[in-house]
Structure 1
Amino acid sequence: MKAPNILTVIRIIMSFVFLGVYYAGFSGWNYWAAGIFIIASLTDMVDGMLARKMNCITNFGKLMDPIADKIIVMVALLVLMEWGRLDALIPVIILAREFIISGFRILAAAEGVVIAAGPVGKVKTAVQMVGIALILLENPIFSMWGIDAGSILLYISAALAIWSCIEYIYKNRQLLRG
Protein backbone atom coordinates (compact mmCIF):
# COMPACT_ATOMS: atom_id res chain seq x y z
CA MET A 1 0.00 0.00 0.00
CA LYS A 2 1.33 3.43 -0.95
CA ALA A 3 2.08 6.10 1.69
CA PRO A 4 -0.86 8.41 0.81
CA ASN A 5 -3.29 5.49 1.09
CA ILE A 6 -1.79 4.50 4.43
CA LEU A 7 -2.46 8.05 5.68
CA THR A 8 -6.06 7.78 4.49
CA VAL A 9 -6.53 4.51 6.42
CA ILE A 10 -4.88 6.07 9.48
CA ARG A 11 -7.36 8.98 9.25
CA ILE A 12 -10.28 6.54 9.33
CA ILE A 13 -8.77 4.76 12.35
CA MET A 14 -8.24 8.13 14.06
CA SER A 15 -11.98 8.80 13.69
CA PHE A 16 -12.71 5.85 15.94
CA VAL A 17 -9.94 6.82 18.37
CA PHE A 18 -11.50 10.31 18.51
CA LEU A 19 -14.87 8.74 19.32
CA GLY A 20 -13.30 6.49 21.96
CA VAL A 21 -11.65 9.48 23.65
CA TYR A 22 -15.05 11.21 23.85
CA TYR A 23 -16.80 8.19 25.34
CA ALA A 24 -13.94 7.53 27.78
CA GLY A 25 -15.10 10.78 29.40
CA PHE A 26 -11.91 11.62 31.26
CA SER A 27 -11.11 15.19 32.26
CA GLY A 28 -9.64 17.12 29.34
CA TRP A 29 -10.87 14.60 26.79
CA ASN A 30 -11.68 17.47 24.41
CA TYR A 31 -8.03 18.58 24.22
CA TRP A 32 -6.97 15.04 23.32
CA ALA A 33 -9.81 14.88 20.81
CA ALA A 34 -8.73 18.24 19.35
CA GLY A 35 -5.18 16.93 18.93
CA ILE A 36 -6.42 13.78 17.23
CA PHE A 37 -8.74 15.79 15.00
CA ILE A 38 -6.04 18.30 14.02
CA ILE A 39 -3.59 15.51 13.16
CA ALA A 40 -6.28 13.71 11.15
CA SER A 41 -7.08 16.96 9.32
CA LEU A 42 -3.42 17.50 8.50
CA THR A 43 -3.14 13.96 7.10
CA ASP A 44 -5.89 14.98 4.67
CA MET A 45 -3.66 17.71 3.28
CA VAL A 46 -0.51 15.61 3.35
CA ASP A 47 -1.92 12.51 1.63
CA GLY A 48 -3.11 14.53 -1.36
CA MET A 49 0.21 16.37 -1.68
CA LEU A 50 2.14 13.11 -1.39
CA ALA A 51 -0.02 11.36 -3.96
CA ARG A 52 0.59 14.13 -6.49
CA LYS A 53 4.29 14.55 -5.67
CA MET A 54 5.01 10.80 -5.74
CA ASN A 55 2.76 10.36 -8.78
CA CYS A 56 0.88 7.59 -7.01
CA ILE A 57 -2.74 8.61 -7.36
CA THR A 58 -4.74 5.40 -7.01
CA ASN A 59 -8.36 4.38 -7.38
CA PHE A 60 -8.29 3.41 -3.69
CA GLY A 61 -7.18 6.95 -2.81
CA LYS A 62 -9.75 8.58 -5.09
CA LEU A 63 -12.49 6.55 -3.41
CA MET A 64 -11.35 6.42 0.21
CA ASP A 65 -9.83 9.89 0.74
CA PRO A 66 -13.17 11.74 0.52
CA ILE A 67 -14.85 8.98 2.55
CA ALA A 68 -12.19 9.33 5.26
CA ASP A 69 -12.82 13.11 5.31
CA LYS A 70 -16.54 12.59 5.71
CA ILE A 71 -16.08 10.02 8.50
CA ILE A 72 -13.81 12.20 10.66
CA VAL A 73 -15.92 15.34 10.13
CA MET A 74 -19.27 13.62 10.76
CA VAL A 75 -17.95 11.81 13.85
CA ALA A 76 -16.66 15.12 15.20
CA LEU A 77 -19.89 17.00 14.40
CA LEU A 78 -22.00 14.32 16.08
CA VAL A 79 -19.74 14.37 19.15
CA LEU A 80 -20.00 18.18 19.33
CA MET A 81 -23.77 17.89 19.07
CA GLU A 82 -23.99 15.26 21.82
CA TRP A 83 -21.59 17.30 23.95
CA GLY A 84 -24.04 20.21 23.67
CA ARG A 85 -21.71 22.52 21.74
CA LEU A 86 -23.47 22.35 18.36
CA ASP A 87 -27.03 22.59 17.08
CA ALA A 88 -28.32 19.59 15.13
CA LEU A 89 -28.92 21.87 12.13
CA ILE A 90 -25.24 21.89 11.13
CA PRO A 91 -24.73 18.10 10.93
CA VAL A 92 -28.11 17.72 9.19
CA ILE A 93 -27.20 20.25 6.48
CA ILE A 94 -23.73 18.83 5.98
CA LEU A 95 -24.93 15.21 5.95
CA ALA A 96 -27.74 16.02 3.50
CA ARG A 97 -25.22 17.70 1.21
CA GLU A 98 -22.92 14.68 1.37
CA PHE A 99 -25.76 12.30 0.45
CA ILE A 100 -26.81 14.50 -2.48
CA ILE A 101 -23.24 14.87 -3.79
CA SER A 102 -22.60 11.14 -3.33
CA GLY A 103 -25.75 10.41 -5.33
CA PHE A 104 -24.51 12.63 -8.13
CA ARG A 105 -21.10 10.92 -8.04
CA ILE A 106 -22.77 7.50 -8.33
CA LEU A 107 -24.84 8.69 -11.31
CA ALA A 108 -21.73 10.20 -12.89
CA ALA A 109 -19.68 7.03 -12.34
CA ALA A 110 -22.38 5.02 -14.11
CA GLU A 111 -21.86 7.34 -17.10
CA GLY A 112 -18.06 7.05 -16.85
CA VAL A 113 -17.74 10.61 -15.56
CA VAL A 114 -15.71 11.64 -12.51
CA ILE A 115 -17.00 14.61 -10.54
CA ALA A 116 -14.04 16.33 -8.92
CA ALA A 117 -14.32 18.35 -5.73
CA GLY A 118 -14.97 22.00 -6.48
CA PRO A 119 -13.23 24.96 -4.86
CA VAL A 120 -16.25 25.87 -2.70
CA GLY A 121 -16.39 22.30 -1.38
CA LYS A 122 -12.68 22.39 -0.55
CA VAL A 123 -13.06 25.69 1.32
CA LYS A 124 -16.09 24.23 3.15
CA THR A 125 -14.00 21.28 4.33
CA ALA A 126 -11.17 23.53 5.55
CA VAL A 127 -13.60 25.86 7.37
CA GLN A 128 -15.32 22.84 8.98
CA MET A 129 -12.05 21.40 10.20
CA VAL A 130 -10.86 24.67 11.74
CA GLY A 131 -14.28 25.29 13.31
CA ILE A 132 -14.41 21.83 14.87
CA ALA A 133 -10.88 22.18 16.28
CA LEU A 134 -11.68 25.60 17.79
CA ILE A 135 -14.82 24.30 19.52
CA LEU A 136 -12.91 21.34 20.94
CA LEU A 137 -10.17 23.63 22.28
CA GLU A 138 -12.75 25.66 24.29
CA ASN A 139 -10.49 28.67 24.58
CA PRO A 140 -12.08 32.07 25.33
CA ILE A 141 -9.58 33.60 22.89
CA PHE A 142 -11.60 31.87 20.15
CA SER A 143 -14.86 33.66 20.99
CA MET A 144 -16.23 37.10 20.18
CA TRP A 145 -19.00 38.76 22.20
CA GLY A 146 -19.71 35.42 23.87
CA ILE A 147 -20.07 33.64 20.53
CA ASP A 148 -17.66 30.82 19.88
CA ALA A 149 -15.58 31.40 16.72
CA GLY A 150 -15.70 27.67 15.99
CA SER A 151 -19.50 27.77 15.93
CA ILE A 152 -19.44 30.77 13.61
CA LEU A 153 -17.12 28.86 11.28
CA LEU A 154 -19.42 25.83 11.32
CA TYR A 155 -22.41 27.99 10.38
CA ILE A 156 -20.30 29.43 7.56
CA SER A 157 -19.38 25.88 6.51
CA ALA A 158 -23.08 24.95 6.47
CA ALA A 159 -23.75 27.90 4.16
CA LEU A 160 -20.83 26.80 1.98
CA ALA A 161 -22.24 23.25 2.01
CA ILE A 162 -25.54 24.54 0.63
CA TRP A 163 -23.74 26.71 -1.93
CA SER A 164 -21.47 23.89 -3.12
CA CYS A 165 -24.42 21.48 -3.29
CA ILE A 166 -26.37 23.88 -5.49
CA GLU A 167 -23.25 24.34 -7.61
CA TYR A 168 -22.80 20.55 -8.01
CA ILE A 169 -26.45 20.12 -8.97
CA TYR A 170 -26.32 22.95 -11.50
CA LYS A 171 -23.03 21.85 -13.09
CA ASN A 172 -24.17 18.23 -13.31
CA ARG A 173 -27.88 18.71 -14.02
CA GLN A 174 -27.57 16.69 -17.24
CA LEU A 175 -27.15 13.58 -15.05
CA LEU A 176 -30.72 14.06 -13.83
CA ARG A 177 -32.08 13.83 -17.34
CA GLY A 178 -31.01 10.20 -17.55
Structure 2
Amino acid sequence: MNLPNRITIARIFLIPIMMVFLLVDFSFYPSPIIWNSYELPFNQLIAAIIFIIAASTDGIDGYLARKNNMVTNLGKLLDPLADKLLVAAILISLVQMGKCESWIVIIIISREFAVTGLRQIALLSGEVVAASNWGKVKTVVQIIAIIAMLINNFPFVFLNIPFDVIATWAAALITLYSGVDYFVKNKKLLNI
Protein backbone atom coordinates (compact mmCIF):
# COMPACT_ATOMS: atom_id res chain seq x y z
CA MET A 1 0.00 0.00 0.00
CA ASN A 2 1.43 3.36 -1.03
CA LEU A 3 1.84 6.46 1.15
CA PRO A 4 -1.17 8.43 -0.18
CA ASN A 5 -3.48 5.49 0.56
CA ARG A 6 -2.00 5.16 4.05
CA ILE A 7 -2.70 8.84 4.68
CA THR A 8 -6.30 8.39 3.50
CA ILE A 9 -6.78 5.35 5.75
CA ALA A 10 -5.30 7.30 8.66
CA ARG A 11 -7.93 10.00 8.01
CA ILE A 12 -10.65 7.35 8.24
CA PHE A 13 -9.21 6.01 11.51
CA LEU A 14 -9.11 9.53 12.98
CA ILE A 15 -12.90 9.85 12.60
CA PRO A 16 -13.94 7.56 15.49
CA ILE A 17 -11.22 9.01 17.72
CA MET A 18 -12.53 12.50 17.00
CA MET A 19 -16.08 11.33 17.69
CA VAL A 20 -15.11 9.91 21.09
CA PHE A 21 -13.57 13.21 22.14
CA LEU A 22 -16.52 15.16 20.82
CA LEU A 23 -19.43 13.11 22.15
CA VAL A 24 -18.29 11.17 25.22
CA ASP A 25 -18.73 12.86 28.58
CA PHE A 26 -15.24 13.74 29.75
CA SER A 27 -16.23 15.45 32.98
CA PHE A 28 -13.12 13.96 34.60
CA TYR A 29 -10.95 15.83 32.08
CA PRO A 30 -9.37 19.19 32.86
CA SER A 31 -11.67 22.14 33.23
CA PRO A 32 -12.83 23.87 30.09
CA ILE A 33 -10.86 26.73 28.69
CA ILE A 34 -12.54 29.84 30.07
CA TRP A 35 -11.68 33.39 29.13
CA ASN A 36 -14.08 36.18 30.04
CA SER A 37 -17.43 34.84 28.77
CA TYR A 38 -15.82 32.37 26.34
CA GLU A 39 -15.82 28.69 27.23
CA LEU A 40 -14.42 25.74 25.30
CA PRO A 41 -14.50 22.24 26.79
CA PHE A 42 -11.10 20.57 26.65
CA ASN A 43 -12.42 17.48 24.85
CA GLN A 44 -14.06 19.70 22.22
CA LEU A 45 -10.71 21.42 21.63
CA ILE A 46 -9.04 18.02 21.15
CA ALA A 47 -11.80 17.02 18.68
CA ALA A 48 -11.25 20.28 16.78
CA ILE A 49 -7.50 19.63 16.54
CA ILE A 50 -8.13 16.08 15.29
CA PHE A 51 -10.62 17.42 12.73
CA ILE A 52 -8.10 20.00 11.48
CA ILE A 53 -5.43 17.31 11.12
CA ALA A 54 -7.82 14.94 9.33
CA ALA A 55 -9.15 17.66 7.02
CA SER A 56 -5.63 18.81 6.13
CA THR A 57 -4.64 15.30 5.02
CA ASP A 58 -7.27 15.48 2.27
CA GLY A 59 -5.13 17.68 0.06
CA ILE A 60 -1.90 15.97 1.03
CA ASP A 61 -2.84 12.45 -0.07
CA GLY A 62 -4.19 13.59 -3.43
CA TYR A 63 -1.19 15.82 -4.09
CA LEU A 64 1.29 13.03 -3.28
CA ALA A 65 -0.63 10.51 -5.38
CA ARG A 66 -0.66 12.76 -8.45
CA LYS A 67 2.88 14.12 -8.02
CA ASN A 68 4.49 10.71 -7.56
CA ASN A 69 2.26 8.87 -10.05
CA MET A 70 0.74 6.75 -7.25
CA VAL A 71 -2.93 7.10 -8.18
CA THR A 72 -4.65 3.77 -7.52
CA ASN A 73 -8.19 2.45 -7.76
CA LEU A 74 -8.16 1.98 -3.98
CA GLY A 75 -7.23 5.63 -3.54
CA LYS A 76 -9.95 6.72 -5.96
CA LEU A 77 -12.45 4.82 -3.81
CA LEU A 78 -11.14 5.68 -0.34
CA ASP A 79 -10.34 9.39 -0.74
CA PRO A 80 -13.86 10.65 -1.47
CA LEU A 81 -15.29 8.13 0.99
CA ALA A 82 -12.99 9.42 3.75
CA ASP A 83 -13.97 13.02 2.96
CA LYS A 84 -17.68 12.27 3.11
CA LEU A 85 -17.38 10.21 6.30
CA LEU A 86 -15.39 12.94 8.02
CA VAL A 87 -17.78 15.76 7.13
CA ALA A 88 -20.97 13.74 7.72
CA ALA A 89 -19.79 12.41 11.10
CA ILE A 90 -18.80 15.82 12.42
CA LEU A 91 -21.89 17.60 11.09
CA ILE A 92 -24.28 15.01 12.54
CA SER A 93 -22.45 15.33 15.86
CA LEU A 94 -22.75 19.12 15.74
CA VAL A 95 -26.51 18.75 15.24
CA GLN A 96 -26.65 16.47 18.30
CA MET A 97 -24.70 19.06 20.28
CA GLY A 98 -27.13 21.81 19.19
CA LYS A 99 -24.44 23.74 17.28
CA CYS A 100 -25.82 23.27 13.76
CA GLU A 101 -29.27 23.22 12.21
CA SER A 102 -30.29 19.80 10.90
CA TRP A 103 -31.64 21.21 7.62
CA ILE A 104 -28.16 22.54 6.78
CA VAL A 105 -26.65 19.11 7.42
CA ILE A 106 -29.36 17.50 5.27
CA ILE A 107 -28.50 19.85 2.38
CA ILE A 108 -24.78 19.11 2.68
CA ILE A 109 -25.12 15.33 2.98
CA SER A 110 -27.81 15.16 0.25
CA ARG A 111 -25.55 17.04 -2.13
CA GLU A 112 -22.75 14.57 -1.47
CA PHE A 113 -25.03 11.60 -2.21
CA ALA A 114 -26.38 13.27 -5.37
CA VAL A 115 -22.95 14.15 -6.79
CA THR A 116 -21.63 10.69 -5.92
CA GLY A 117 -24.58 9.20 -7.81
CA LEU A 118 -23.84 11.46 -10.78
CA ARG A 119 -20.23 10.29 -10.74
CA GLN A 120 -21.40 6.67 -10.72
CA ILE A 121 -23.61 7.33 -13.76
CA ALA A 122 -20.62 8.94 -15.48
CA LEU A 123 -18.45 5.91 -14.75
CA LEU A 124 -21.08 3.63 -16.30
CA SER A 125 -20.83 5.80 -19.41
CA GLY A 126 -17.03 5.60 -19.36
CA GLU A 127 -16.63 9.24 -18.32
CA VAL A 128 -15.18 10.94 -15.26
CA VAL A 129 -16.77 13.89 -13.48
CA ALA A 130 -13.82 15.89 -12.24
CA ALA A 131 -13.94 18.07 -9.15
CA SER A 132 -15.10 21.55 -10.04
CA ASN A 133 -13.79 24.82 -8.66
CA TRP A 134 -17.11 25.29 -6.85
CA GLY A 135 -16.68 21.84 -5.32
CA LYS A 136 -13.28 22.86 -3.99
CA VAL A 137 -14.64 26.15 -2.63
CA LYS A 138 -17.47 24.18 -1.01
CA THR A 139 -15.00 21.93 0.79
CA VAL A 140 -12.96 24.86 2.13
CA VAL A 141 -16.04 26.77 3.33
CA GLN A 142 -17.46 23.65 5.00
CA ILE A 143 -14.19 23.05 6.84
CA ILE A 144 -14.05 26.68 8.00
CA ALA A 145 -17.67 26.51 9.22
CA ILE A 146 -17.07 23.24 11.05
CA ILE A 147 -13.95 24.56 12.76
CA ALA A 148 -15.79 27.75 13.79
CA MET A 149 -18.55 25.65 15.38
CA LEU A 150 -16.07 23.30 17.06
CA ILE A 151 -14.14 26.14 18.71
CA ASN A 152 -17.31 27.99 19.76
CA ASN A 153 -16.85 30.90 17.37
CA PHE A 154 -13.40 31.88 18.64
CA PRO A 155 -12.18 34.69 18.29
CA PHE A 156 -15.30 36.27 16.77
CA VAL A 157 -17.27 35.70 19.97
CA PHE A 158 -15.35 38.62 21.51
CA LEU A 159 -16.41 40.90 18.65
CA ASN A 160 -20.07 39.81 18.84
CA ILE A 161 -19.86 38.55 15.25
CA PRO A 162 -21.74 35.28 14.65
CA PHE A 163 -19.05 34.06 12.26
CA ASP A 164 -19.93 30.41 12.92
CA VAL A 165 -23.54 31.03 11.85
CA ILE A 166 -22.48 33.08 8.81
CA ALA A 167 -19.95 30.44 7.75
CA THR A 168 -22.51 27.66 8.20
CA TRP A 169 -25.06 29.48 6.04
CA ALA A 170 -22.36 30.17 3.45
CA ALA A 171 -21.42 26.49 3.47
CA ALA A 172 -25.05 25.49 2.90
CA LEU A 173 -25.54 27.96 0.04
CA ILE A 174 -22.24 27.14 -1.70
CA THR A 175 -22.87 23.42 -1.22
CA LEU A 176 -26.29 23.76 -2.83
CA TYR A 177 -24.91 25.88 -5.68
CA SER A 178 -22.00 23.52 -6.35
CA GLY A 179 -24.39 20.56 -6.48
CA VAL A 180 -26.63 22.30 -9.00
CA ASP A 181 -23.53 23.32 -10.96
CA TYR A 182 -22.39 19.67 -11.23
CA PHE A 183 -25.77 18.59 -12.57
CA VAL A 184 -26.13 21.49 -15.02
CA LYS A 185 -22.65 20.90 -16.45
CA ASN A 186 -23.22 17.14 -16.70
CA LYS A 187 -26.90 16.97 -17.68
CA LYS A 188 -26.01 14.98 -20.80
CA LEU A 189 -25.22 12.05 -18.49
CA LEU A 190 -28.84 11.99 -17.29
CA ASN A 191 -30.35 11.65 -20.79
CA ILE A 192 -32.81 14.46 -20.12
Tell me by how many angstroms 1:144 deviates. Answer: 7.6
Tell me by how many angstroms 1:20 deviates. Answer: 1.4
* Cα distance in 1, alignment partners of residues 116 and 63 from structure 2: 23
2:34 corresponds to:
none
Q: Which structure 2 residues correspond to residues 51-70 of structure 1 after superposition, within 5 A?
A: 51-70=65-84
What one-letter code is carried by the residue in structure 2 that aligns with 1:64? L
1:18 corresponds to:
18
Q: Which structure 2 residues correspond to residues 83-98 of structure 1 after superposition, within 5 A?
A: 83-98=97-112
1:151 corresponds to:
165
What one-letter code is carried by the residue in structure 2 that aligns with 1:95? I
Q: Answer yes or no: is the 8 Å Cα contact 1:135–1:148 preserved in 2.
A: no
Please list the CA deviations of residues 73-115 of structure 1 after superposition, one character each: whole Å capped at 9, or x if unmatched.
1111111111111111111100111111111111111111111
Q: Answer yes or no: is the 8 Å Cα contact 1:81–1:87 preserved in 2.
A: yes
1:72 corresponds to:
86
Tell me by how many angstroms 1:150 deviates. Answer: 2.5
Tell me by how many angstroms 1:142 deviates. Answer: 2.7
Tell me by how many angstroms 1:171 deviates. Answer: 1.0
1:164 corresponds to:
178
Please list the CA deviations of residues 110-161 of structure 1 after superposition, one character each: whole Å capped at 9, or x if unmatched.
1111111111011111111121112111254134864432332121111111
| TM-score, normalisation: structure 2 | 0.87
Give RMSD over aligned pairs: 1.6
Q: Which runs of 4+ in 1 moved over 6 A?
A: none
Q: State the SS of the aligned residue for 2:148.
A: helix
Query: What is the count of residue pairs matched by the alignment?
Result: 178
- In the alignment, structure 2 segments of 5+ residues that lack a partner are 27-40
| TM-score, normalisation: structure 1 | 0.93
Please list the CA deviations of residues 5-38 of structure 1 after superposition, one character each: whole Å capped at 9, or x if unmatched.
1111111111111111123221521101001000
Residue 109 in 1 paired to residue 109 in 2? no
Q: Answer yes or no: is the 8 Å Cα contact 2:23–2:93 preserved in 1.
A: no
What one-letter code is carried by the residue in structure 2 that aligns with 1:75? A
Residue 6 in 1 paired to residue 9 in 2? no
* Cα distance in 2, alignment partners of residues 99 and 153 from structure 1: 22
Range 97-106 or range 145-154, more displaced: 145-154
